[in-house]
Structure 1
């Protein structure tokens, strides 16, 4: 069996696909990943021994432009471009495949759905956070320029509005492309792409799915890629030279709304009497002086690093939140976009850290969050929760795919 895993997004979208591919290969299936050709993603998949077929373009280039001028970003037009370009890329990757599992940006999953439909392949839609899926237990995501109705009689009405909003934003480009390749247009693109049986690849302790008649969801658990890489010698030397530092990393977030994020973070950490460890990331975080209490790193093994730090300050991506929770290390989440406010809220609700109010941290606001994250009781709760967050979701999902449970 040959299975195509398709995604377009950040590292948080690509790494789970690598985990699922490894799990599929372990039970004798062949897995191919169609993902953005960014060097960091290519390196990740290469380390995992997974074949990469490149998506239409770099995610970093696209995301940086989108976040730099969100008010002028034409989402319907750009979404239509992604559908058409990804259809070609996914179509090339799907040669010889028996099925497609798709995650990531909605236009990309719509393209994968069209490829599967045209070729008569099995198709599974997956997401890494429950907020995107219709439910009576949470409100729909709000798109720019499409606020939720304040006078809606119930949450079902709001989810019906969400379907219409997605049709307005994405439907034109998706249906124009469908017609161009000989497929019929669809009246509800959300329902068509998500299918009536979507998969949720998140940990049920961190993000439980509550049953609802709006959506029949299969929750597999988080897809976590084991990482056995040693930490670099210079990083180990820094860690061994003093008390555990506070880690700050915003991953694939350019942090265009918080240009002074490194200075703010370092000042807040020093105010707590702690050392700082900065992940350079897409925000290009850097030290602000030559003091030896701050160290800057590139991409490293989070699974090895996170248990060795005092707290983890991050943007609230699903992958980083899960990795920090599994390490038993307190978190301070500074959410930027998408599902990140959800993860920030869950960290606070579980008592394993703090949620920053808004995307732009100041020294005072970050210091307040750090006081909560560094409190002994927060560390105790984080350590206790760690043993309940499991890493076997990819194995479960792989077995289901091979068995045809989808």
Structure 2
């Protein structure tokens, strides 16, 4: 099988694609991995060959932060800015995927860039799988508004809201996406129009999260449900050689972090991944004050921010951590609510403070708060006093015990199950059956 895996977006969007590529390659498949240009080196550093497609997502995120229309009072200007944001990079994605897709058996994409990848797959008559990290399809189980009061609304309101959001995104993308074929047959690589009539190629939406977090959603969405695509063995944070000999290698940082963890009490983990933390110096100062006031050490994973790495007795700042090894050694996890970090903290059995920034993050915050596994607040409202109060809430014994208990239910074979689904979609069920049987034995 020759699958094309196209995962754009932030590093959190790309990591599941890299894990999936690794699993498929270990099964003997000839995988092409396409990532945003700024994430290709990240894949290469972990032994996964990748090619660029679309635009640099770090640049797109920066452009979003500097667009003053999002903070303006004019709702029409905000709507225009949102529509333009949805379209950014899509023409480049289409152009690159049209060149990459011929010769492959199946196209797989994440939620970011899903429409462009599906358009190219349909034009070529290829099966298509989208990996959903959140239940974004219309349903009545997940509140359409990420707020506590929304859970009291009737289900038809949620389904109607999700449908309206899907139509709005389609309208935003319509100027840059080709017309969707009504019936598809293979087209040439340079054309997206159907060449004739015939059945549409197979399409599936892999639900790559724990449906137990959204009661009722399993009955409403077709699946398959695989569970979170978790980095079980720390593959994405494994020690790599530094390209710059003047900098400490990742292996050196890992050893230093292990020594730091061993040298004192369990810390509070803070990590915001690719998200903007505002003024980094002020952010770190606030975290230092909160942790000092609580008599706790601070472990900060700086992600894409410009916070300098370093180790002190009470504070450790690193670029990234192996969540599977580090989070179980922390007393709480403060983060942005990305699906990957949320899943890692759930698996580690650590209570969470989710400070959401955008996209699906506030939904994760509300879902976990409803189940008593976390508390949540928009990141823009975060202050030292509020963080201190939120940490008080997740430090209660009943929350700590609930988080530890939930960890025993988190499946860790999501990557393998997603690989099974892709094999089956591409018409190689024998391999999928073999791996499924191996897990059940």
TM-score of the two chains, using structure 1 as the length reference = 0.84
Does the alignment pair 1:261 with 2:271?
no
How is 1:291-330 mapped onto 2 (pairs within 5 angstroms)?
292-330=313-351
How is 1:124-135 mapped onto 2 (pairs within 5 angstroms)?
124-130=129-135, 132-135=136-139
Deviation at residue 208 of structure 1 after TM alignment: 5.3
In 2: Cα distance, 1:71 partner to 1:257 partner? 20
Deviation at residue 29 of structure 1 after TM alignment: 1.9
Q: For 2:31, what is the secondary structure of its paired residue?
A: strand
Does the alignment pair 1:350 with 2:371?
yes
Instruction: Decide whether the 8 Å contact of 2:281 with 2:307 is kept in 1.
Output: no
In 1: Cα distance, 2:106 partner to 2:216 partner? 26
Structure 1, unaligned stretches of length 5 or more?
A: 143-149, 185-191
Pick the aligned partner of 1:51 from 40, 49, 52.
Answer: 49
In 2: Cα distance, 1:290 partner to 1:238 partner? 8
Q: C-alpha deviations, 1:96-132, integer Å up to 9, x for none?
A: 2101011132xx22211121112111111221011x2
Pick the aligned partner of 1:183 from 172, 176, 193.
Answer: 193
Query: What's the counterpart of residue 18 of structure 2?
Result: 18
Q: C-alpha deviations, 1:230-253, integer Å up to 9, x for none?
A: 662222222122101111111110
Query: What's the counterpart of residue 283 of structure 1?
Result: 305
Q: For 1:223, what is the secondary structure of its paired residue?
A: coil
Pick the aligned partner of 1:138 from 142, 159, 173.
Answer: 142
Q: For 1:218, what is the secondary structure of its paired residue?
A: coil
Q: C-alpha deviations, 1:347-405, integer Å up to 9, x for none?
A: 22232332225533111110011112233332222221111111101111212221227
In 2: Cα distance, 1:394 partner to 1:290 partner? 34
In 1: Cα distance, 2:126 partner to 2:216 partner? 28
Instruction: Decide whether the 8 Å contact of 2:365 with 2:375 is kept in 1.
Output: yes
Aligned length: 384
Query: What's the counterpart of residue 31 of structure 1?
Result: 31
Does the alignment pair 1:233 with 2:238?
no
Structure 2, unaligned stretches of length 5 or more?
A: 71-79, 147-152, 182-189, 195-199, 240-252, 428-441
In 1: Cα distance, 2:370 partner to 2:54 partner? 39
Deviation at residue 203 of structure 1 after TM alignment: 2.2
Q: 1:25 to 1:206 in 2, by over 3 A?
A: farther
Q: 1:160 to 1:18 in 2, by over 3 A?
A: closer
In 2: Cα distance, 1:203 partner to 1:161 partner? 25
Instruction: Decide whether the 8 Å contact of 1:84 with 1:177 is kept in 2.
Output: no
How is 1:2-401 mapped onto 2 (pairs within 5 angstroms)?
2-38=2-38, 41-69=39-67, 71=69, 74-105=81-112, 108-130=113-135, 132-140=136-144, 154-175=157-178, 181-183=191-193, 197-207=204-214, 210-211=217-218, 215-225=221-231, 226-227=233-234, 229=238, 232-256=254-278, 260-285=282-307, 292-356=313-377, 359-401=380-422
Q: 1:182 to 1:235 in 2, by over 3 A?
A: closer
TM-score of the two chains, using structure 2 as the length reference = 0.78
Deviation at residue 160 of structure 1 after TM alignment: 3.9
Deviation at residue 53 of structure 1 after TM alignment: 1.4
Deviation at residue 320 of structure 1 after TM alignment: 0.3
Q: For 2:381, what is the secondary structure of its paired residue?
A: coil
Q: For 1:90, what is the secondary structure of its paired residue?
A: helix
In 1: Cα distance, 2:398 partner to 2:277 partner? 30
Q: CA-atom RMSD, angstroms?
A: 3.2
